[in-house]
Homo-oligomer: A and B are copies of this chain.
C-alpha cells in the first residue's frame, strides 16, 4: 500500500445533517463527518484514504454542499463512487456528486468562494420541526434594521472582530461578495420557507465571500440578531468592524442554524 502512486483525484460534493457529529474535521475520541466518509472510502478502495474538506464545519453545523477530495488508484468510474459510498454511509451523510478532477485540485486551497446560510426561527415558542435546523429567537426581530446592517459587511475588510479568539489564520482580511437577509414576515418574498407552511416565521442570512474566519458567519449572525433586537444600531457595524475588538461584536450564534451551502472553484 505504501508504494502506491495515486493517480486519480476525486472531488465529492456532500450534504450532511451535522446534528450527530463533532464537526467535519477528525479529532481524537469523537466521530467527525470526515472520519465516517474516509472509512467508507477506505472500504471501497481498499486504500488508506486522505480526505481533505473545503471547510472545517463545527459540531452541529450542516452542509448542503461541502466539498472534499481524495486521491486514489482505484479504477471505479468517478460517477459511480457516489453510489458506492452512499450505500455504505449512514443516512445523515449523502454524497451528492463524485467527479474526477485534475491532480492539483485541492478542496481547501483551491476554493475561490463559499456561501453560508444562517437560519433563525423567530417565534415566541420553538419549532418542533425545525428544532435542529434553525436557531430559535423568541423575541421580535427588526428585519429591516438587520438588512441595513448586513450591507456594512460587503467588500474587503479586516474581520478580526468577527473571528473566534485563538484562530490561526495568517490574515483576518476577507472579502464578502454578497449578503442578504430575508424575513418570511417582512417582505412577503418567500411565503414557503421549507416549502411547508404558509407562514413559517423564519429569518435567514445568506453570505458569500472568498473565505471565512473561524466562527465568522456565526458571529456575524449573532451580531445581526443583536441589531434585530435593538441592542446594536445598524450604523454601528462599520465601527465594530474597524475597531477590531471581538467584544464589540455580538455573540456567536449557535451551530445548528448554520449551513455550508456551496463552495466555488
Contact = CB atoms under 8 A, between A and B. Distances in A.
A62 B15 contact: no
A193 B196 CA distance: 8
Interface in A159-192: 182, 184, 190, 192
A24 interface: no
Interface in A47-75: 62, 64-65
B15 A127 contact: yes
A194 B204 CA distance: 10
Contacts of A16: 128-129
Interface in A115-132: 117, 119, 123, 125-129, 131
26 contacts: A15-B127, A17-B131, A64-B196, A64-B200, A91-B128, A91-B131, A93-B128, A94-B125, A94-B126, A94-B128, A96-B123, A96-B125, A117-B196, A117-B197, A119-B195, A182-B195, A190-B190, A190-B192, A192-B193, A193-B194, A195-B202, A195-B204, A196-B204, A196-B259, A197-B261, A197-B262
